Amino acid sequence: MPSFDEKNAYIEKGDDVFFDDGREVELLHFIHNKPDIDSIRGSPQRVLQAIDEFARTKKYLMNVGQAKGKIVTDLIEEVKPETMVELGGYCGYSCILFGDAVRRSGSSSARYISLERNPEFAAVIMCLVALAGLSDTVKVVVGSSDASINRLHASGELKHIDLMFLDHYKPAYTTDLKLCEQLKLITPGSVLAADNVITPGNPPYLEYVRSSVAEKREAAKQGPVEGDGVDPRFPGRTTQQYAKRLGQAKLEHTAKGNPNLVYESRINHSFEPTGEPDGVEITRCTGEEK
């Protein structure tokens, strides 16, 4: 397993050595070859332990991990979402951890929708979700988050989001949030949990969710950022992170959002599974100004 410094060095070089090199399918073989596989079946906790074991002893995986995961599972217990949506599923760690928490805390119709752009990663998620016995609660949707949100909304399958976990392409946090606001999927009462707001960081998103209604109305008059649509405050490696095989879709800036929504937002400091400091921004939509 690479050390933390090696990991940073690789990311600095722009290599995608930490994912999409076959390790995600390797994870499936690792788990299914375990001698105690029958005791893992139907147990979300044991599937998570097996993923953690692979990430600790074999190869790094970009999972949310236990420390930051606890912040979100506590939030799920409090919010008891009927519908929770995740942006970015990878191998299914957060999907299994949070999908299980949603099943325990909510009604029998409570569901967890994971939006994952890479079809191979989505297949890995589906396989591990089935192994964990969560297929009745969890739905995995393959495709770019903005296209999936639009499609699920248009079909009537997604009418409201009670809790949303943002953990995908960093520049898309704000554009996808605005899309959800515009479609009225995010309304007063909705709660957002955004990962990685310290490492690698997401200044445009924090600025947006911490702004007052007056500030958002003013910013909305100025229109979208120029160029490829990505805020220049993001380092190049953040914007290239997922471009290896699929290319990174152009960000849609057509959604103006709803600047009238009132947010209360604060950071919960925690750590990456590597020990690196990070934080989850918890944002509550508390009202709407007319």
Ligand X SMILES: C[S@@+](CC[C@H](N)C(=O)[O-])C[C@H]1O[C@@H](n2cnc3c(N)ncnc32)[C@H](O)[C@@H]1O
For 277, other C-beta atoms within 10 Å of its C-beta total: 10
| 100 touches ligand X (CB under 6 A) | no
How far apart CA 157 and CA 151 sit, in angstroms, is 9
Q: Is 169 in the site for ligand X (CB under 6 A)?
A: yes
Taking CB under 6 A as the binding criterion, the range among 73-81, 116-124, 156-164, 179-187 that sits at the site for ligand X is 116-124
Q: Which of 62, 127, 134, 197 binds ligand X (CB under 6 A)?
A: 62
Q: Is 194 in the site for ligand X (CB under 6 A)?
A: no
Question: What Å distances lie between residue 156 and 113, 117, 201, CA to CA?
Answer: 14, 21, 34
Residue 168 is a binding residue for ligand X (CB under 6 A):
yes
Q: How far lies 188's CA from each of 9, 80, 213, 220, in Å?
A: 42, 15, 13, 20
Closest-by-Cβ residue to ligand X is 88
Residue with tokens 């989850």: 280
Our finding on whether 94 is near ligand X (CB under 6 A) is yes
Is 225:232 a contact under the CB 8 Å cutoff?
Answer: yes
Closest contact distance (angstroms) between CB of 194 and ligand X is 11
Asked whether position 238 contacts ligand X by CB under 6 A, the answer is: no
Beta bridge partners of 287: 262
User: Please, what is the minimum distance in Å from the beta carbon of residue 32 to ligand X?
Assistant: 19
**CA–CA gap between residue 96 and residue 131 (Å, rounded):** 10
Taking CB under 6 A as the rule, does residue 242 contact ligand X?
Answer: yes
257 alpha carbon, distance to own chain's centre: 19
Task: Give the one residue of 100, 167, 272, 281 binding ligand X; rule: CB under 6 A.
Answer: 167
**Minimum distance from CB of 142 to ligand X (Å)?**
9
Question: Which of helix, strand or coil describes residue 154?
Answer: helix
Q: Work out which of 63, 83, 202, 283 binds ligand X, going by CB under 6 A.
A: 63
Q: Which is nearer to ligand X, 60 or 208 (CB)?
A: 60
Distance spanning both ends of the chain, measured CA to CA: 54
**Nearer Cβ to ligand X, position 89 or 106?**
89
Q: How many CB atoms lie within 10 A of CB 12?
A: 10
Instruction: With contacts defined by CB under 6 A, name the span among 10-18, 77-85, 86-94, 205-213 that binds ligand X.
Output: 86-94
Binding site residues, ligand X, CB under 6 A? 62-64, 87-90, 93-94, 115-118, 121, 144-145, 167-169, 172, 242
